[in-house]
Amino acid sequence: MSMETKIKLFFDPVGNTLTVWFGDPDQEHLCEETGNDVILMKDNKGQVIGFEKLNFVPLGTEMPLVSFETMATPVR
């Protein structure tokens, strides 16, 4: 079985925010501030579908390098 997830990254150099979506942004229902300048975006079921890092300032002048890791999760 193949699972495909699209990840969307948005970097705002003026607002100094990094927004990451791993779910459909149109399904955003609730935002929750967690502290440490991180906001979680959730759908109507309470599942996290993205997050925003506030006060994100990359080192240097280039776009930040982003890497991803995947983890296997048991099927329920």
> What digits encode the pLDDT tens for the residues 5-42?
788 999 898 999 999 998 899 999 999 999 899 999 99
Domain contains 75? no
* All residues at 6 or more sequence positions from 20 whose CB lies less than 8 Å from its CB, including other chains: 7, 8, 9, 10, 50, 51, 52, 53
pLDDT at 69: 63
pLDDT score of 59 more than 90: no
As for how many domains the chain has, the answer is: 1
Domain contains 28? yes
Domain contains 17? yes
Domain contains 69? no
Domain contains 38? yes
Domain contains 61? no
Q: Give CA–CA dist 8/40, Å, rounded.
A: 15
Domain that holds residue 18: 8-53
Domain contains 35? yes
pTM tops 0.85, yes or no: no
Length of the chain: 76
